[in-house]
Structure 1
Amino acid sequence: MRIADRKEFATKAPPLTCGPDTTVFDAVTQMAEKNFGSIFITDEDDRVLGVMTERDIFRRVIGENRDPKTTRVSEVMTTEVRMANKDDQVLEWLQVMSNERFRRLPVVDEEKRLVTVMSQGDFVSYTWPQLLGQVGQMAQATFAPAFNVIAIVGGIAVYTLVLILLLLYAR
């Protein structure tokens, strides 16, 4: 399934963004008002420059004893941000997010402008039923051929045992 096919893609609230010169204090105030765990830092054309998460705030502001009222988000944001396209596959990104340990995925358009932000939760709500279905299909595909061989061998063993018992009983 494509990211754009998720119902959340069309219904998500606009992403929380700010410019690189915004203070950490002002960004955190916006995050608290909206109950967001992150804020994306964008340029004038809405292109993603970075992301500041709660973890960045703890490690790079509080942990380094910086003043949030004078520290700019550009000083503490994560700059290596993975970005998706709306036509990318949900399961592929869920795997990448899990392996690389990040929870928020910005989705950008052809000009790399921020469209929305999808979370692991947006993907997991869809993928659990799909994953369980795929596990069932894989189990059936894996065990069905083996089961046929086991059934044939087992049938021959039972038939042989019955013949042996009949021969012993007939004596």
Structure 2
Amino acid sequence: MTRDVTVAGPEQTIQEAARMMQKIDSGVLPVGSADRLIGMITDRDIALRAVGTGKGPDTRVREVMTEEVLYCFEDQEIEEVAHNMGDNQLRRLPVLNRDKRLVGILSLADVATSIEFEAAGDALSEISRPSGT
């Protein structure tokens, strides 16, 4: 996992969030408030929930972020996490400690380099299937 995580604030603008994504070359940012994970914002959220509905660059992150956040714990078995990523079609998951504090982000690439090829391939196959939504 990546431990050096850039976190957006819910009151930041989507333009600021997009610039943060550009700077770190990522399409996703965790959103935190008072040392807690409260959501995630992706480049897709900005494109579809903001720009696609006519919202401007000064729109607050909180207005377009995904509030329901799926996550894993830092001490979970990677095979279990990979299976969950596949089931939920997620390419990235925030990683929390048991106090539910953000400690990192786990990407599909991290999974692919840490477990056997077959398990990573299974996760990718599930993540890549059409969702119909």
TM-score normalized with structure 1 length? 0.65
Cα drift, residue 110 of structure 1: 2.3
The match for 1:39 among 22, 25, 29 is: 29
- Number of positions where the alignment pairs a residue of Structure 1 with one of Structure 2: 120
Runs of 4+ that moved beyond 4 A: none
Distance 2:62 2:14 in 1: 9
CA distance in 2, matches of 1:13, 1:83: 14
Larger Rg: 1
Q: Which has the higher helix share?
A: 1
**CA deviation after TM superposition for structure 1 residue 79, in Å:** 0.8
Q: Tell me, yes or no, if the aligned pair for 2:79 and 2:119 is still in contact at 8 Å.
A: no
1:131–1:17: structure 2 CA closer, same or farther, 3 Å change rule? closer
Aligned partner of 2:61 in structure 1 is 73
Instruction: Judge which range, 70-79 or 105-114, deviates more.
Output: 105-114
1:64: which partner in 2?
53
Q: TM-score, normalising length from structure 2?
A: 0.83
CA gap 1:131/1:36 in 2 versus in 1, 3 angstroms: closer
Q: Does 1:98 align with 2:86?
A: yes
40, 57, 62: which one aligns with 1:51: 40
Deviations 1:97-145 (A, max 9, x none): 112111111111222111000111100122344649xxxxxxxxxxxxx
Amino acid in the other structure paired with 1:58: A
Q: Hey, what's the Cα distance between the residues in 2 that align with 1:75 and 1:123?
A: 31
**Structure 2 portions without partners, runs of 5+:** 121-133
Which structure is higher in RCO with an 8 Å CA cutoff and minimum separation 6?
A: 2
Unaligned stretches of 5+ residues in structure 1: 1-8, 133-171
**Identical amino acids, percent of aligned pairs:** 32
Secondary structure of 1:75 counterpart:
helix
1:15 is paired with a residue whose SS is: coil
Instruction: Give the number of the structure whose residues are more often strand, by fraction.
Output: 2
- Tell me which residue corresponds to 2:113: 125
Contact 2:3 2:103 in 1 (8 A): no
> 1:20 maps to what in 2?
10
